[in-house]
Amino acid sequence: MDETILEIKDLNMVFSSGKSKVHAVDNVSFRIKQGETVGIVGESGCGKTTLGRCIVLAYKATSGQVLYHAADGKKYNIQAISKQKLRSIRKEIQMIFQDPYSSLDPRMTVFDIISEPLRANYKKIPKNEMEYRVQDVAKKVGLNPSYLKRYPHAFSGGQRQRIGIARALILYPRVIICDEPVSALDVSVQSQVINLLMDLQKNMNLTYLFISHDLSVVEHISDQVGVMYLGQIVEYASTDLLFHNPCHPYTEALLSAIPLADPDTPMDHIPLKGEIPNPSNLPSGCFFHTRCPYCQERCIRERTSLIRLDDGRLVSCHFAGKLPLHGIQAKVPR
């Protein structure tokens, strides 16, 4: 369980259109161990999806490496790999998307949707093997096999997301990038899908990168959490440390906005002031300084970089470890 499966190193993704440039992923580095879940949180537009897409090579990054420790025991930089090798590596890293409505082709049967990656990767797969694999993953995600001849419109959001998960599993991957997999679902269905993902992880030894703006879900499912702001990781720590003892003011602000289970106990809330800066016109100094309640003169002038604290976490703040920040348990009732 202690083995690294993915190493993201100095990853950058810059989108250019005309004169404007957006640095959607800005020098991001972290590692994921086999069998664990790394949550990625942050407000809309901070680069979560772009990071996930660079890892599955849906985007070729502007620079940096994504080192993957493959099933064959070798390590590959999947951002710079031969086309032939990429075909076999790609099967091992799959993605689940947010919207179970638009990501499933309405003209295909559920069987055809789930089996499509098999047909694309193994031109001559025998029919009975294909049927066996589709039945197998349908069972694993809790889809009734008699539904396989139907079309996606016949299914609820939760069932559709199960179809999306079955499709991601059909090639028996090792890593799954889950991009907001429950955000489009009713709250009552969210926990069923989260529990399914957790069971699948145990039974199939899967590794997840779990992208979400919902911190409660991320706390429940993740072993480690990375907090992103304007393309950068500003804090990366074990879930327990990050939620109970945050060291970056942005993490604290996100935590204080988590709705509480008990609405009768109002808690101190540190509202995030101001808007997210325009990503094509980034602030000077620390990118968070325009909204940070602890901002000092140095923050406006001097860029921050990720430093490792004694407890092992990474934080990008000039005053990391020196600010009196509150985590979720430390919220004080008014």
Residues that bind ligand SF4 (CB under 6 A): 249, 286, 288-289, 292, 294-295, 299, 304, 317-319
Shortest spacing between CB 88 and ligand ATP, in angstroms: 27
Shortest spacing between CB 316 and ligand SF4, in angstroms: 8
3-state secondary structure of 288: coil
Nearest CA-CA partner of 106 in 166, 153, 145: 153
Determine if 49 is a binding residue for ligand ATP (CB under 6 A).
Answer: yes
Q: Which of 7, 9, 14, 15 is close enough to bind ligand ATP by CB under 6 A? A: 15
Strand ranges in the chain using DSSP code E only, listed in sequence order:
4-17, 20-33, 37-41, 63-69, 75-77, 93-96, 175-179, 207-211, 224-229, 232-238, 307-308, 314-315
Which residue, 17 or 82, has its beta carbon nearer to ligand ATP? 17
Which residue, 272 or 320, has its beta carbon nearer to ligand ATP? 272
DSSP β-bridge partners for residue 147: none
How distant, in Å, are the alpha carbons of 77, 144, 156, 173 from that of 159? 35, 10, 5, 21
Binding track, positions 263-282, relative to ligand ATP; x by CB under 6 A: ----------------x---
Determine if 49 is a binding residue for Mg ion (CB under 5 A).
Answer: yes
Residue 101 interaction partner, one of ligand ATP, ligand SF4, Mg ion, none, beta carbon < 5-8 Å per kind: none
Determine if 46 is a binding residue for ligand ATP (CB under 6 A).
Answer: yes
Which residue, 48 or 291, has its beta carbon nearer to ligand ATP? 48
Nearest CA-CA partner of 163 in 141, 178, 184: 141
Number of residues interacting with ligand ATP: please give it, by CB under 6 A.
13
Shortest spacing between CB 62 and ligand ATP, in angstroms: 12
On whether the CB atoms of residues 253 and 288 are closer than 8 A, the answer is: no
* DSSP secondary structure letters along 19-48: TEEEEEEEEEEEEEETT-EEEEE-STTSSH
- Given the rule CB under 5 A, which residues bind Mg ion? 49
- Given the rule CB under 6 A, which residues bind ligand ATP? 15, 22, 24, 42, 44-50, 213, 279
